[in-house]
Amino acid sequence: MIKYICAKDEYEAGSCAARIFAEIINSKSDAVIGLATGSTPLKMYAKLVEMCKNSEISFKNVISVNLDEYIGLQPSHDQSYAYFMRENLFKHIDINPDNTFIPNGVSQDDLSECDRYNNVLEKIGGVDVQLLGIGHNGHIAFNEPNSFFTKDTSIVDLSESTINANSRFFISKNDVPRRAISMGIGRILRSKRILLLATGESKAKILEESLFGRITPQIPASILQFYQGEMIVVGDKAAFSEIIKNHPEVL
Ligand code: GLP
């Protein structure tokens, strides 16, 4: 069963998501947490940093795994997800950098990198809680609309709509990488818990379509309807607006 938490705004949604993560980490100090990038989790990460600074939470024994990385961006590039994680979370908390895992977007051989990352995930064992954002086209991690659901970590061609959406972070659209390495959907579904975080009006339609519409690889997030673990959807009123209108009973 999916649990829905509708927050007032993106700040409250971020705090709520951070508290859920903190609770899990506080009950299991060596928890494996699955992390995501994008603008959506920024408020949540800021809250986790604050909680860590106030000694409300410690990441000392926590292991983190990230969903994806652009192919071709050095970890020092300010739009790489390695950089994003370092700047927005890791360097402000007491996590051991050796316990943070992100696919390498600049390996010699991308296919071997996928294998390496799958092995890392296998070795680490189950993810206790996986954070997910959602793309405007329903992608989760970088699993784009397709004719099939991906199983394991793979190389992904980014869709035109994702390139357009993410071009806001780059100097020009031409600078946006065309490919990424992404954890597969099969792997995501193996996490013990999933926290899907969505904020803003622009996510309202796709959030409703994904969680209440047809289950199809054309809307990758729709597979979450089949997820067997504990799933919490945290969003603000704007992102929940279509759900509030059409499925008020779930709230
Ligand atoms: C990015 C990431 C996803 C993220 C999504 C939404 O491209 N690969 O993991 O969830 O797109 O991003 P945002 O939160 O900026 O809307």
What does the pLDDT look like over 139-182, one tens digit per residue?
A: 999 999 999 999 999 999 999 999 999 999 999 999 999 999 99
Question: Tokens 């997030």 map to which residue?
Answer: 221
Residues of the chain with pLDDT under 70: none
Identify whether the C-beta of residue 204 lies closer than 8 Å to the C-beta of residue 245.
no
Q: Assess whether the C-beta atom of 39 lies below 6 angstroms from ligand 1.
A: yes
- pLDDT tens column, 18-37: 999 999 999 999 999 999 99
pTM of the model: 0.98
Q: Whose CA is nearest to atom 9 of ligand 1?
A: 141
Catalytic position from the list 12, 50, 92, 137? 137
Q: CB neighbours (10 Å) of residue 108?
A: 7
pLDDT at 1: 86
Annotated active-site residue 128? The verdict is no
pLDDT at 34: 98
Catalytic position from the list 110, 139, 143, 236? 139
* 166 CA to centre of ligand 1 in angstroms: 8
Q: Whose CA is nearest to atom 13 of ligand 1?
A: 38
Backbone torsion region of residue 38, taken as left when φ is above 0, otherwise alpha when ψ lies between -120 and 50, otherwise beta: left
Backbone torsion region of residue 62, taken as left when φ is above 0, otherwise alpha when ψ lies between -120 and 50, otherwise beta: beta
